[in-house]
Amino acid sequence: PLAWRAGGEVAPGIVLRAVAADAVTVEQAGRSSRLPAPAALPAPAGISREK
């Protein structure tokens, strides 16, 4: 797995500016873009025992 922090270059010319619970903000060529996070998948069902 890879990890970045705000201010780090995530790809050539693309800088991670901010991380929020629902999105990240990146900057490329002086322009900022807010990218929404994908919707969370539902949690798997628990284990149940049938009698």
Give me the domain span that covers residue 23: 1-36
Split into its structural domains, the chain has a count of 1
What is the predicted pLDDT for the residue at 24?
Answer: 96
Q: What is the pLDDT of residues 14-28, one digit of tens each?
A: 999 999 999 999 999
pTM above 0.85, yes or no: no
Q: Is 25 exposed, middle or buried (0-12, 13-18, 19+ CB in 10 A)?
A: middle
Within a domain: residue 11?
Answer: yes
Within a domain: residue 1?
Answer: yes
Q: Is 26 exposed, middle or buried (0-12, 13-18, 19+ CB in 10 A)?
A: middle
What is the predicted pLDDT for the residue at 2?
Answer: 86
Within a domain: residue 21?
Answer: yes
